[in-house]
Every structure is written in structure tokens, then in C-alpha cells.
């Protein structure tokens, strides 16, 4: 698989995954988390889901 195809696949995943992340972010704020706390939790969730190295 070439790099262009891999990039296109990642874009498709992010396009489909972003509404879920946004809903999660808004729900965290509704539960009383600050914007920064919600952002950090969403970022951690995304890193865990995609297996980002820390």
C-alpha cells in the first residue's frame, strides 16, 4: 500500500470518527468538565483509540 492510499484511509477514518469525538467533548462539558479538561480527555481517548505512542 502506498503512502497516498494510507493517507486517504486515515482521512476517511478521521472524517467518520470526528462526530463521535465532538459529541464526547460536548457531553463532558455538560457533565461539568472545563473546556481544557474535556479537550485533554478527548485527546487521550483519541490517542488510546489510534494507539498513539506517548
Residue 22's domain comprises 3-51
pLDDT at 54 > cutoff 80: no
Share of the chain above pLDDT 70, in %: 93
Total domains, the chain: 1
The mean per-residue pLDDT over the stretch 25-43 comes to 98
How confident is the model at residue 25, as a pLDDT?
Answer: 98
Output the pTM of the full model: 0.74
Calculate the CA 28 to chain-centre distance. Answer: 14
How far are the Cα atoms of 1, 38, 48 from residue 52, in angstroms, in the given order? 21, 19, 6
Amino acid at each position: 500500500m502506498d503512502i497516498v492510499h494510507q493517507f486517504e484511509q486515515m482521512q476517511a477514518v478521521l472524517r467518520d470518527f470526528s462526530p463521535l469525538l465532538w459529541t464526547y467533548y460536548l457531553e463532558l462539558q455538560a457533565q461539568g468538565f472545563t473546556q481544557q479538561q474535556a479537550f485533554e480527555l478527548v485527546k487521550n481517548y483519541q490517542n488510546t483509540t489510534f494507539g498513539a505512542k506517548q
